[in-house]
Structure 1
């Protein structure tokens, strides 16, 4: 009897069979699940302690500052040493941080200062874990399949991003300490899964540490206008339009829902992101990639405005679903550009700069929205951010013509 042809296999199944891909995606998904559960617990806990939108913003600032300090150093470390082991060590350290959270919660000694300190520690850990994971995937699949692999990894990551906030919100009903204990166990599983990756490490020159090598990633990005445009567009769009820091306040004070409502809001963007990323895994972007990215950012801003004005939980969740769907288009375009057009010996440093921009937009964006909400109210702060995002999309179309004219993502591979 003739054997079934490999051509009949789905693209997802073919990718999973590449050595190490399943273990890598499993580790990234588990790590994402743990972070999402912990984010819900931290957000609800700090708001219960302070009832202050500024405190929610300070959580984002505490995560952001270590990333700024360590970003360029971490990229250099990732390009010199085993990326797999660096990421696994980071996941173990994140698990230990979760255990400290659990101990303090069980003993009822949690204070805002302790939360800020632990969140800052986790920010430092993620400054090394993020570039390590980003730089690993391109070495596991051929360049022609990378766009599909990025979309598949994103779709599975978004699945746990849906599950994580909901599970975190439900478990918080049992107790914050219980949530953090489960989070620590999941981080341990992520580290084990990553250590199962058997990637043949390419020979990379051990460059001497200097200002030129440490800041090499930034210099490379500045030399590629399409990459610079994509990264900076995401930076300013999420910095202005990000409303995630306000979710505990919206769930508690505006939508009058409990931790379960916060879990729904946290998971809603991932529902949209999962749908679109699953579609892109089967049908990768082949034309008008740049224009699609600009359109997605504009939709992201419009969805932010709707969320900011909504006082009905289903409409708020629906707006966040659209927001997540638009955001994943930008994520896939940006990550594919960064990874495929960067030489392997620089991927750690470029990934570190990329994640610094992402951290700036996410964590500093949380601080911006929290501090602005403390001055002018949460609704005005969120709506103003959405308007700003739309304006940024229009401005960047004029400032970065190479990104606007970008067609395929797999051309001009470095």
Structure 2
């Protein structure tokens, strides 16, 4: 058991990664507290409007759709530590402004729109930079483990953040949650500034001369990268809209209060956390079958969660859905990242981020429309069915490609044998 735990946490032996991870735990916990507070405030201001909640989500993720590829270029060209420092300070600014508006009773819906848009612009740079920075912190040998641990602390924050936010909203109000989120970014900044630049690992190469188009051409030439990216894009568009579907399910289907809503979000995160710890034992690049199989499992469980008859059964099914979601996301991430040339890794991860999170504006608007027309459950079970179907198609295509590859030479032999037999 001790050896298993040592393997699971071996990346934490690197000082720079420990500092980075500690700051991220605090910051991401604050971010998830903010997500719950923001969604709850939007529902309060709009009378539980699914379309308005979908619009806020779309505004936050639209910049990811437009700017992430350029964010990946910045990550490959400039000092990632400085980029992340500036990004975290910029993220704290709208949180502070919203705190002031809420505490003075002057908050308006347009302010939430503006804050979501600003945060989206910052995230277009921060997300691909952060993902590629993990490789600089630990080097290629520990990258699978460090990536899985990053997912683990991210989902640990998703467990803690919504639960704490639900309690604080009930006891103290939304303003305090937003203030704590603003303060949490300082922990990440402190960790980044304590990192020793001399101990970072950065692949040598002419990064400055590689343009966005060069990165796209590189990805297009790699079928083993484009396949998982397409599957991630479809599932992200239809199946990963939990920021919208879970608040609506909790409030409009089960009549839950802020505390119960936080618990439902925590269940998703707890399942994802378990999935993240399961993937920490991975040492190499996962197979395409693991990626597609986990996609099918995720779609089936999300469909079941959308049909859950009671709040208790919804919590259980959402937990299992979170586990399958993380297993799929990590399998796809590791297959893409570990198969990429380090010179292009920032751009490859930018495209991965683009299809994973950039699809959210379209997905949230579509899901909001579906939920508004046919009820909150629709967003979950329709997304699950589409995700499951996409996984099944990917399994079939992968199996056909494997058979074609194996059958080329034997096929010729078989034809020759048939001719000989006929003579």
Displaced runs of 4 or more, over 6 A: 6-9, 285-288, 402-405
Is the deviation greater in 124-133 or in 368-377? 368-377
Contact 1:38 1:180 in 2 (8 A): yes
Aligned residues: 396
Q: Aligned runs of 1:39-50 on 2, under 5 Å?
A: 39-50=35-46
| Equivalence map 1:27-176=2 (5 Å) | 27-50=23-46, 51-173=48-170, 174-176=172-174
Partner of 1:408: none
Distance 1:109 1:149, change over 3 A: same
Name the CA distance, whole Å, in 2 between partners of 1:401 and 1:19.
43
Q: CA deviation at 1:194?
A: 2.1
Which of structures 1 and 2 has the bigger CA Rg? 2
Per the alignment, residue 10 of structure 1 pairs with 6
1:236 alignment partner, one of 228, 234, 238: 234
Cα shift at 1:397: 2.4
Aligned-residue CA RMSD in angstroms? Answer: 2.4
- Distance, in Å, in 2 between the alignment partners of 1:206 and 1:230 is 25
Aligned residue in 1 for 2:310: 312
Q: Deviations over 1:263-316 (max 9, x none)?
A: 1111111211211221221x3276973222222212211222222122422211
- 8 Å CA contact 1:240–1:385 kept in 2: the answer is yes
Shift in alpha-carbon separation, 1:49–1:403, aligned structure 2, 3 A: farther
Q: Distance in 2 between matches of 1:47 and 1:288?
A: 41
C-alpha contact (below 8 Å) 1:217/1:353 kept by paired residues: no
2:68/2:124 contact within 8 Å kept: yes
User: Counterparts of 1:357-376 in structure 2 under 5 Å?
Assistant: 357-376=355-374
Matches within 5 A, 1:275-354: 275-281=274-280, 283-284=281-282, 289-354=287-352
TM-score (norm 1): 0.89
Q: Specify the alignment match of 2:255 in structure 1.
A: 256
Structure 1 residues not aligned, in runs of 5+: 1-5, 406-414
Structure number with the higher helix fraction is 2
Runs of at least 5 residues in structure 2 that lack an aligned partner in the other structure: 404-423
Does the Cα contact within 8 Å between 2:64 and 2:121 map onto a contact in 1? yes
CA distance in 2 between counterparts of 1:187 and 1:39 reads 15
- In structure 2, C-alpha distance between the alignment counterparts of 1:191 and 1:67, rounded to whole Å: 22
1:308-364 CA distance string (max 9 Å, x none):
122422211111111111111112222222322223332222221111111134443
Q: Alpha-carbon deviation of 1:48? A: 0.9
What's the TM-score, normalizing by structure 2? 0.87
Query: SS where residue 255 of structure 2 aligns?
Result: coil
Q: Distance in 1 between matches of 2:5 and 2:381?
A: 46
Instruction: Indicate conservation of the 8 Å contact 2:96/2:182, yes or no.
Output: yes
Give, in whole Å, the separation in 2 of the partners of 1:220 and 1:400: 21
CA distance in 2, matches of 1:404, 1:116: 48
